[in-house]
Amino acid sequence: ADASSGSGALSPFDRQLKRKQKNWAALQAEPAKCDYLREEVGATAGGPGTFPLALDVGSGRGYIAQHLTKETVEKLIQVDIAENALKNTVESEIPTVNVVADEEFLPFKEDTFDLVLSSLSLHWVNDLPRAFREIHQVLKPDGVFIGAMFGGDTLYELRCSLQLAELEREGGFSPHVSPFTAVSDLGHLLSRAGFNTLTVDTDEIQVNYPGLFEVMEDLQGKYVLCMGESNCSWNRKPLLHRETMLAAAAIYQEMYGNSDGSVPATFQIYYMIGWKFHESQARPAQRGSATVSLGDLAKIDGLSRGKK
């Protein structure tokens, strides 16, 4: 069964709604004004050496492709759930092929790609373990996956302010910002999918705004219109009351406000690299093959002195 088709704990996102949001966003956006986050993160993509065939999972308008060169990638396949995004891709010097497909169900044969990339797309996937397994499967042995996704602390100021305001004014709260994966889970998920020689890192990008209303307006304009980043959780609440919004704005300013009167919005980014196993890769020694005991470490200083 398609994991994206139902609601519930195992499928927190309405993937059909997400597709509609991204399609509408691709038609409405003015890219130069809207995509600074995906542009900034996409510019960090790439890897050592030359890759004959690469795959961009959740490519959108081609945020990664425009930063790649023929010396890095010889041919690129771009995959996205939204056909309108692929129809409006930015120019790239690399030969590209666009494929409409879901990140959880990649329509490619096993051992196809030398490199798989993904930039700020996988946080909308219902079954992240499956998506990682799909990526691992389509990689060739010794192929590498390089990805970036929004982390668990993304927009924590906004989330906390809205929740406190709703609890105060309405006696309960609903999610207005979609849930994100914790960094403590990411390495485990990649390892379970079969990746080795893992590297997981985090970064934060902070943007300052005059107030909460400007944050919301910018998120709606930039992330609904440009990135399709509006909330598609099944349990999302469609409307925020004005009194709740005013209370949230005051809480936001009180709890997080800067000295100049502005408020910060934090975007946490997880960067990940993982390799598919190949015989040529270095492997850890077998358990029990060590020739020195940890207990001998205390003797090293004395041994080194005796050699002088």
Q: In what order do the strands lie in the sheet with 139-150?
A: 96-100, 76-80, 54-57, 113-119, 139-150, 263-275, 196-209
Under a CB-based contact definition with an 8 Å cutoff, are residues 47 and 72 in contact?
yes
- Of 11, 101, 87, the residue nearest 56 (C-alpha): 101
At residue 20 the predicted structure's pLDDT band, cuts being 50, 70 and 90, is: low
Quick one: pLDDT at residue 59? 86
Task: Scan for tokens 């799909």, then name that residue.
Answer: 134
Query: pLDDT digits over 268-308, tens only?
Result: 989 999 999 988 776 655 666 655 554 554 554 554 455 55
CA dist 65 and 236 (Å) reads 33
CA dist 136 and 225 (Å) reads 32
Query: pLDDT digits over 163-206, tens only?
Result: 899 888 876 655 555 556 778 888 999 999 999 999 999 999 89
DSSP 111: T
CA distances to 64, 302, 306 from 148, in Å? 11, 47, 51
CATH of domain 15-279: 3.40.50.150
Q: How much of the chain exceeds pLDDT 70, in percent?
A: 65
Q: Which residues pair with 11 in a beta bridge?
A: 8
Quick one: pLDDT at residue 87? 83
Query: Domain segments of the chain: what residues?
Result: 15-279
Under a CB-based contact definition with an 8 Å cutoff, are residues 37 and 219 in contact?
no
Pairwise pLDDT comparison (43 vs 103), residue with the higher score = 103
Query: pLDDT digits over 115-163, tens only?
Result: 999 988 887 787 888 999 999 999 999 999 999 988 888 889 998 998 8
Quick one: pLDDT at residue 223? 44
Under a CB-based contact definition with an 8 Å cutoff, are residues 274 and 196 in contact?
yes
Quick one: pLDDT at residue 236? 46
